[in-house]
Amino acid sequence: MIRIYFWKISSIRIPWAITQMALNRFPLQRNSAIHFWKLIGTGKGETFTPRDADSRRWGLIVNIEKNALADFHNSQFINQWRKNSLEEFSATLNPIASHGRWSGKTPFTPDPDKNWNGPVAAITRARIKWRKNSLFWRSVPPVTMSLRNSPGLIAAIGIGEAPIGLQGTFSLWENPASIKEFAYRGQAHREVIAATHREQWYAEELFARFAVTEMKGTL
């Protein structure tokens, strides 16, 4: 079971959040019900440069056993973030498709529901080769503009484990058709896909789509 959280905090809580990014890995590592996790920072997802960073919003992705999800959602770990945040967004995700690896792992096992026509989420994540960063940054703006203007998009933000080199997006869509329209028919997106293969920007990449089976809060 995949669960994703985003917390918006006040400016005064930023030092606390940065500290949690360092300390929270220990309880996550000790939790035997969690098979994969990532603590993430967020950004506007416009240029994927450090100036995009949003220090007032932080997130967590976990792949957790289904029977442990309720306890985790109400755990001291999550409640600590909840207590220190102004807003919380959370969603339960069922993987529809997943290609690639994240930190050398395949974190999402697809269980496609061909009849699913509800909201969907997409996660893209890439580890960019250092020497390719500037070329990648120059190529991103047309795609982000196309994404923001896409019919059926509910919300999209940048996500990353580091300000430089480890970047991605989390986006929410009204239905599977809307994300397929953007991914396969959008000119800017198709051009970047072609450039990705040509320029070999990434040392590692992942793209995954999910059925959103439960969602609370606003992104």
User: Does residue 188 carry a pLDDT above 80?
Assistant: no
| CATH fold label, 2-216 | Alpha-Beta Plaits (3.30.70)
pTM: 0.86
Residues 6 or more apart in contact with residue 157 via CB below 8 angstroms: 6, 42, 43, 44, 45, 54, 57, 169, 170, 171, 219
User: Does residue 190 carry a pLDDT above 70?
Assistant: no
Residue type, 20: Q
Q: What is the pLDDT of residue 193?
A: 60
Instruction: Decide which of 144 and 76 is more confident.
Output: 76
Q: What is the mean pLDDT of residues 113-127?
A: 89
Q: What is the pLDDT of residue 72?
A: 98
Q: What is the pLDDT of residues 62-109, one digit of tens each?
A: 999 999 999 999 999 999 999 999 999 999 999 999 999 999 999 999
Residues 6 or more apart in contact with residue 61 via CB below 8 angstroms: 2, 3, 4, 5, 36, 37, 38, 40, 123
Q: What is the pLDDT of residue 70?
A: 96
Q: Would the CA dihedral through 103, 97, 180, 42 be positive or negative? A: negative
Instruction: Decide which of 129 and 218 is more confident.
Output: 218
- Three-state DSSP class for residue 182: helix
Q: What is the pLDDT of residues 12-71, one digit of tens each?
A: 999 999 999 999 999 999 999 999 999 999 987 555 556 678 999 999 999 999 999 999
